[in-house]
Structure 1
């Protein structure tokens, strides 16, 4: 009798093992793309990027929910609904493409209807990034892909520095936690990511789509690390994505049946073109010039004040990463030129005819350099922002301060990797005396021994 019972139990277990499990793994994804902003700068590619990512995830068995160009109230509803779905899943993934930024110490996403107070630099109807992480928190394994921080979202805001721009920064370092949480951010903390040329995918989306296609059996963290390397190579170091793990390793693959298997190497970077969206017609662009040619040309023109020069660069290197930088620079220049023209016209109309022209500011007396190793530092910037050093130099020249730009790598006591605007060298007493006379010109100037 006992033997018969054991046989029946064994048969039952075997039947259960062969039958489809009632607790089969469920993988869900929420894909969000926002580009048609009401008041922020519009973006060409988040929606096409999100649609292509959604199609790729569906092809690998994810249950995908898609939303595009949502205002804040609807975006909150979408996250709440997805949170309920994620609670019942083994893997929950969110992909977000659109504007994202750090404001007043908070990392926020920009729904379609977000607004900004330029003076106070405070957002209206922004969405905390943490709410994205909350949406996946119910799943044992969580993945968040952020293709945000694209370009400057606030071109309508006045310049906040000699270097121009609205003071916009990308996300601060992401500190969100989870049981097993994998995060991929399109760029490093505080930096910007490229949107990509109109009609193409962003560099990050392009790298993801390529790796999704060629390495579906790789562990997802390995795949994301490889995609991050692709973006860094394509942009020649101009954009460096970041991959983070919180609370334990996420051991999943797009192709679960072959998870951890070895796949063929992806095609060469030059051949990586994301597939067209369903219903669209593939357009094969002409081969771009070599990437080193684009980089060299960009180094030559990035500080220009000429719109025509930037337009010529964009036409020649339209498919390069540097063309995105040129487009952003061109947009900013056009805005600046328009503002300057409007101010000049307003001043002309408001000034009484009898009012004499304002005199130039009195030049500051600067002694001749020599006789010491102390420099007066009038500003310093990363080498990627040399145009800011050039603008500071131009400003100083207008005040009669004949400074110069130096590479700080040439001075052992200065921080390396910067371009600095300096005066000197002088002996220390003369450097201190000259610094005092410059306080009204550059308030943050200081002295330092260069050697």
Structure 2
């Protein structure tokens, strides 16, 4: 019996030494990975440095690191092993952070982390060579009271190029955040992020700085990161984060100083998140909703000011007077066209909001569809041609700055009309007062010359602009296909130009089965519209 008790005690000691222990309540646990020394893909300089910077920051914030340090250049086996240990260690923890820097790709809407040993020659290799991000989310799921944070600085180009990877897309796909989870992306879903020219990527450098600010909530941190990265990259990279409802407050570094007010609680966090989501909108109903939910909110004066700007002041009632005779036509200026006076609808100089029934040139039979523009979310833009053709682009086509939305609307209109168009409305407001000449666009679609990634027409998504830069950097033979609604497809490194044309049209047709055409072959615009 004594021998049995000694054996049991020995096994308990061995188990305690061999198995990773679960975290106790109040613990903070982090898994930090930086992959850069790729054997079969483009090596990356910054991810190991990014992992070291993040590990140092989290260590100072009181996190226990899996492996006691940043894990650098992991194979698939080592990465999966680290994730399993991470899942065991965070049981009962108050906070868990997973940070990954390195290559990452999306296939059919699923995000994958790329181990340094990965060798992918076709789509069939993905499940055997890469690690599904869902594995990390599964390891973190199951505790609504724990703060889970996933950070993916992995939105670079597909490292395997076109090696039979037709289903691969640029950047990473947006994922649904499990309960109590925040997911931070280095840039918008579907877009590409920069590795950076310095020691660290722009995203990780800004994130480490934001995390160290005492008293910053998790919303403060990711919002500040977005602002800093956008400024540093000139707006070309816009970080993104998604979250599920969070119970309680969280700070990487606690507030310091007795004179400081108490940190904001969950209600304040919700207010900040709500405000950040609407502050650049042109929809007055959103600001009304903010004032109703947070009548004494921090941003009340700003909301009221935006509401006054966006809501037109009704004109005072005027006594009925006979309709005056039409005024003489305004003198025309080069590059402008005077709109016709619509029968039964004299232009009102006091009306500056989009009215489908008052759009000039458009035939009556086509006006029914214009109401779709009026109800579409902002940012959006509407363009019209003197032959009655029109086109519009809304935020449903992709997250774009208003200037690009306007250009896309003019490009679509020009393509459909066969002539230059005039910008008629941006969001719900007219560009010029009713009855005044419309100014034609001061540019035309480039139909010859060298391909310029910045002026490829019709594109309405941020990842599409990044893709044009990728196309420009690829070797011959290659071809680029477009559709006027914004779809595109390209093929590079083909044996012949004809093969590149065929493949580019095939890729474009996956999004728009009819209407794609060849815009460029190699680096020259050919404009082969059927």
**Structure-2 residue corresponding to 1:45:** 46
Equivalent runs, 1:19-168 vs 2, <5 Å: 25-65=26-66, 66-118=70-122, 122=126, 124-137=128-141, 140-155=146-161, 157=163, 168=169
**Structure-1 residue corresponding to 2:188:** 188
Q: 1:232 aligns with which of 217, 230, 233?
A: 230
Alpha-carbon distance in structure 2 between the residues aligned to 1:118 and 1:54: 34
Alpha-carbon distance in structure 2 between the residues aligned to 1:235 and 1:333: 27
Alpha-carbon contact 2:519-2:526 (below 8 Å) kept: no
Alpha-carbon distance in structure 1 between the residues aligned to 2:492 and 2:132: 36
**Structure-1 residue corresponding to 2:170:** 169
Alpha-carbon distance in structure 2 between the residues aligned to 1:111 and 1:23: 31
Question: Normalised by the size of structure 2, how large is the TM-score?
Answer: 0.45
Deviation at 1:86, TM superposition (A): 0.5
Q: 1:123 to 1:219 in 2, by over 3 A?
A: same
Equivalent runs, 1:327-406 vs 2, <5 Å: 332-333=474-475, 378-379=516-517, 389-391=519-521, 394=524, 396=526, 401=528
Equivalent runs, 1:181-330 vs 2, <5 Å: 181-197=181-197, 199-213=198-212, 215-249=213-247, 251-258=249-256, 260=263
Alpha-carbon contact 1:221-1:250 (below 8 Å) kept: no
Alpha-carbon contact 2:141-2:178 (below 8 Å) kept: no
Structure 1 segments unaligned to the other structure (5+ residues): 1-21, 161-165, 262-302, 307-323, 345-357, 359-375, 380-387, 404-437, 439-451
Alpha-carbon contact 2:520-2:526 (below 8 Å) kept: no
Alpha-carbon distance in structure 2 between the residues aligned to 1:105 and 1:341: 25
Alpha-carbon distance in structure 1 between the residues aligned to 2:178 and 2:492: 47
Question: Normalised by the size of structure 1, how large is the TM-score?
Answer: 0.52
Alpha-carbon distance in structure 2 between the residues aligned to 1:206 and 1:216: 17
Q: 1:51 to 1:253 in 2, by over 3 A?
A: same
Deviation at 1:216, TM superposition (A): 3.0
Deviation at 1:91, TM superposition (A): 0.6
Q: 1:235 to 1:391 in 2, by over 3 A?
A: farther
Deviation at 1:104, TM superposition (A): 3.1
Deviation at 1:116, TM superposition (A): 1.8
Q: 1:76 to 1:226 in 2, by over 3 A?
A: same
Structure 2 segments unaligned to the other structure (5+ residues): 1-22, 257-261, 265-448, 453-465, 479-490, 499-513
Alpha-carbon contact 1:155-1:332 (below 8 Å) kept: no
Alpha-carbon contact 1:232-1:240 (below 8 Å) kept: yes
Alpha-carbon distance in structure 1 between the residues aligned to 2:477 and 2:195: 19
Aligned-pair Cα RMSD in Å: 4.1
Deviation at 1:238, TM superposition (A): 1.6
Alpha-carbon distance in structure 1 between the residues aligned to 2:200 and 2:33: 15
What is the number of equivalent residue pairs in this alignment?
277
- Which whole-Å deviations, capped at 9, do the CAs of 1:131-159 have from their partners, x for residues lacking one? 11123335522111111121231147389
**Structure-2 residue corresponding to 1:316:** none
**Structure-1 residue corresponding to 2:310:** none
Residue aligned with 1:131, SS = helix
Alpha-carbon distance in structure 2 between the residues aligned to 1:105 and 1:46: 24
Alpha-carbon contact 1:154-1:168 (below 8 Å) kept: no
